[in-house]
Structure 1
Amino acid sequence: MQATTKLIHSIPVDELTGAIAVPIYQTSTFEQEAPGVNKGFDYSRSNNPTRKTLENLVAELEHGEFGLAFASGLAAIDAVVKLLESGDEIVAVDDIYGGAFRLFEKVYKKFGINVTYVDTTKVEEVFNAITPKTKLIWLETPTNPTLKISDITAIAKLAKQQNILLCVDNTFATPVLQNPLDLGADIVVHSATKYLGGHSDVIAGVVVTKTKELGEQIKFYQNACGNILGPFDSFLLIRGIETLHLRVKEHSRNALAVATFLESHPAVDKVFYPGLKSHPQHELAAAQQKAFGGVVSFTLKNDTEEAAAAFVTSTSLFKLAESLGGVKSLLCHPAQMTHKSIPADKRRANGVNDSLIRLSVGLEDANDLINDLKQTFETLENQNSKLKNQKTAA
């Protein structure tokens, strides 16, 4: 059975009513037959039928044994880090999402959990960073926002040799394009706000584990700390996932067209997209993923925050906003938005230059999106020409 068919029919019909759509069990508590005797649900923080359906669905999508849904992507990351103890260490990708960096550095560092950031595209750097205290390797692949690709299989083998957990943030690739658990990872996380939801209308996070035992450990923290996803948001996420395969394929097709256009434009310095043959890990991405996703980043030859700010406030179809993965195309300036919490010198060292712009390529017609970018470049070029002429005349 093909993955699209399997996904659609893995969403169960409601046994009680025959409802095709998953019901929203908007209840805080459940009647018990006797103290401690129930139908599998007693309190919605601990378990809820709508959320449980979602958790089973994401586990199946990622080929895992246990799925858990959280109130945000950061809540999902937080639950994974709670597996560690004071004195443990994490080896993490250097080009890391700003929110994860903030969580590691501003929250968990003061509890004695230290993080070493390395270029995970080089397996030897991961190996060299490991110490006897290393308990977790943290990957994003592709990374946010420079789209670096790490070899999950090679790093998984290294992690297993050292008895270290490997967690992969699979938000950008989605389960449609990449399944890290099949490649040897122990845990997968998603900001489900992005492609899993797909419509910019829900904040959510998910964790999927390779083993039931590991899932039950994270389940304990989900229940004990209470960062759960509510039933209505769980319903929205299920509804979004129903069209995931179709959306991701079109996102990828549009993104490749946009990246190809940008690579040929004279005002662009570098384009970051693993689907381009110029990408340093293009061959690895082609082997590890089924397609290349919907995010494209690029830097301008005028490498200033001012130039980037002018660009991101001049587009028409691309809307300036945080987040990504929705039906509508978005763009952002990471230096001033998503990665502002990372010190400027560290951010630049990891390739997030002052002029870097991240595009979340949506489901509009690709030619319309390219024309929007083309017109933006032309408008800014004309404005700059006028300013130069005015200065010359003065």
Structure 2
Amino acid sequence: MKEETKLIQNILSDPLTGAISTPIYQTSTYVQEAPGVHKGFDYTRTNNPTRKILEDLITSLEYGYASLAFSSGLASVDAILKLLKCGDKIVAVDDIYGGTFRILNLYKKLGISTKFVDSTNVEEVISVISDKTKLVWLETPTNPTLKISDIESISKKSKSKNSKILVVVDNTFASPAIQNPLILGADIVIHSATKYLAGHSDVLAGLITVKSPYLYEKLKYIQNATGGVLSPIDCWLTIRGSQTLYLRVKKQSKNAFQIASFLEKKKNNCVDQVYYPGLSHHKNHLIAVKQQRYFGGIVSFSMKNDTIESAKKIVTSTKFFKLAESLGGTKSLICHPATMTHKSTPLNIRMNAGIQDSLIRLSMGIENVEDLIEDIDKVLK
């Protein structure tokens, strides 16, 4: 069965009524025949039929053992970090999402430290692994400079150095339509399902998929104990939105390549650098070709006038690209990471990771690309 067919056909009709659309089980509790004797559901924080359908769906798409749905992407991040204890160490990608950086900083106070590295350099990742390293945390592509990490190589070499290491891949920017990290050797895949999976900028959601029963039981306990679960209505919205995932990602990737190619032509004028793994000169282009089906719907670029002011002038002047946080929806968005998504990242760390003052991130929607190019062209003149 092809991926697009599997996505649609694995969302089963309701066995009770035959409803083709997934029912929203908007209930907090369930009637039991006797204490502990029920139909698999006793309290919605622990289990919910609508949530189970979503969790089974992402498990299928990511080729995992099981999945868990959370109230946001960061709630998913937090659950994974709760696997650790004081003294444990993390190796993480250097231009990590600002929200993840913020939560890692919170865990630093609890004795869990993070070493940030350029994960495009496999040997650099391996060189900082010690017997106290418990997680290797990858984003690929990264947010917002679109670095590509070799998931297979990092997974294999890091486990050779420390067999107890877990490799976590934030697959938000790619989605299962583009790559499947568990197949490449990762242990845990995480999604801000707010983005490409839900796809319509109308829901907050986080998803974790694991490849082992052991990890599932540990994270399931954490989810139930801490309670950051996804509501039935948000599960339904994510299920509904995900049904067009492959159509949207294919269109968004096509738009992104054409926008990146257009921006390349502006490099002799006002544009300094263009970041898109689909461009042949991208540093990690060949790795992207190896592990991705498409190159994704995000393009970032910096200006020759590398100032916050020059970037703000552009992001507040576009018509079709709406200035907003987030990404992956049907409408095209524009963002200034230095003052928006990564404003909580210290300046020296942000600059070392390549997030310049003038860096601008574009999230492609599904509009006509000619209109999008015209929109960008007008503000760059």
Tell me the TM-score normalised to structure 1 length: 0.95
1:131 CA displacement: 1.3
Q: Greater shift after overlay, 154-163 or 216-225?
A: 154-163
State the distance in 1 between where 2:281 and 2:95 align: 19
What residue number does 1:365 align with?
Answer: 368
Which one-letter code corresponds to 2:72 in the other structure?
S
User: d(CA) in 1 for partners of 2:322 and 2:7?
Assistant: 31
CA distance in 2, matches of 1:243, 1:58: 14
Note the alpha carbon deviations across 1:166-194, whole angstroms, 9 max, x for none. 00000011101100000000000000000
Q: Does 1:302 align with 2:305?
A: yes
| Aligned amino acid, residue 152 of structure 2 | T
Taking the aligned partners of 1:160 and 1:15, their CA distance within structure 2 comes to: 43
Structure 1 CA distance, aligned partners of 2:307 and 2:51? 45
Q: Is the 8 A contact 2:90 2:135 kept in 1?
A: yes
Query: Match of 1:18?
Result: 18
Q: Which residue of 2 aligns with 1:9?
A: 9
Give the counterpart letter for 1:352 in structure 2: I
Query: Is 2:69 aligned against 1:77?
Result: no
Query: SS of 2:257's equivalent?
Result: helix
The residue number in structure 1 matching 2:255 is 254
Number of residue pairs matched by the alignment: 377
Percent of aligned positions that are identical: 61
Pairing 1:373-384 to 2, within 5 Å after superposition = 373-378=376-381
Q: Return the alpha-carbon distance in structure 1 between the equivalents of residues 333 and 305 of structure 2.
A: 22
Counterpart residue identity of residue 15, structure 2: E
Asked if 1:41 corresponds to 2:44, the answer is no
Corresponding residue of 1:391: none
Q: After superposition, what is the alpha-carbon deviation per residue over 1:368-392, rounded to whole angstroms, capped at 9, x for unaligned?
A: 10000011112xxxxxxxxxxxxxx
Which residue in the other structure is 2:102 paired with?
Answer: 102
- SS of residue paired to 2:277: coil
Q: Equivalents in 1 of 2:159, 2:10: separation in Å?
A: 32
Q: Secondary structure at the match of 1:50?
A: helix
Q: Give, as a single letter, the amino acid of the residue that structure 1 aligns with 2:210.
A: T
Query: Aligned pair 1:277/2:280, yes or no?
Result: yes
Deviations 1:283-303 (A, max 9, x none): 110111011000000000110
Per-residue CA deviation, residues 258-284 of structure 1 (Å, 9 max, x unaligned), is 000001112110000000011000011
Show the counterpart of 1:155: 154
Tell me, yes or no, if structure 1 residue 321 matches structure 2 residue 324. yes
The yes-or-no answer on 1:268 pairing with 2:271 is yes
Deviation for aligned residue 1:207: 0.1
Contact 2:62 2:209 in 1 (8 A): yes
Name the aligned partner's letter for residue 41 of structure 2: F
Question: What is the CA distance between 1:159 and its match in structure 2?
Answer: 2.6
User: Which letter does structure 2 place at the counterpart of 1:157?
Assistant: K
Give, in whole Å, the separation in 1 of the partners of 2:347 and 2:314. Answer: 20
Q: Structure 2: which 5+ residue stretches go unaligned? A: none
Aligned to 2:57: 57
Residues 129 and 158 in structure 2, CA contact (< 8 A), matched pair in contact too: no
After superposing on structure 2, the runs of 4+ consecutive aligned residues of structure 1 that deviate more than 2 Å are none
Distance 2:184 2:293 in 1: 13
Residue 121 of structure 2 aligns to which amino acid in structure 1? K
Aligned partner of 1:134 in structure 2 is 133
Match for 1:15: what amino acid? P
Q: 2 CA distance for matches of 1:223 and 1:159? A: 31
1:312 aligns with 2:311: no
What is the RMSD computed on CA atoms of the aligned residues? 0.6
Q: How far 1:127 moved relative to its partner?
A: 1.0
Secondary structure at the counterpart of residue 174 of structure 1: coil
Q: Deviations over 1:100-129 (max 9, x none)?
A: 000001x21111100000001001111111
Q: Deviations over 1:303-341 (max 9, x none)?
A: 000000000000000000000000000011000000000
Instruction: Give the aligned residue type for 2:115.
Output: T
Normalised by the size of structure 2, how large is the TM-score?
0.98
Alpha-carbon distance in 1 for matches of 2:96, 2:282: 18
1:120 alignment counterpart:
119
SS at match of 2:54: helix
Q: Based on CA coordinates, which of the two structures has the bigger radius of gyration?
A: 1
- Aligned amino acid, residue 76 of structure 2: A
2:337 maps to 1:334: yes
Q: CA deviation at 1:63?
A: 0.4
Matched, 1:197 2:198: yes
Cα displacement (A) at 1:356: 0.1
TM-superposed CA distance for 1:160, in Å, is: 2.0
* Distance in 1 (alpha carbons) for counterparts of 2:131 and 2:64: 28
Q: Is the 8 A contact 2:182 2:189 kept in 1?
A: yes
How far, CA to CA, are the matches of 2:236 and 2:294 in structure 1? 28
Unaligned 5+ segments in structure 1 are 379-394
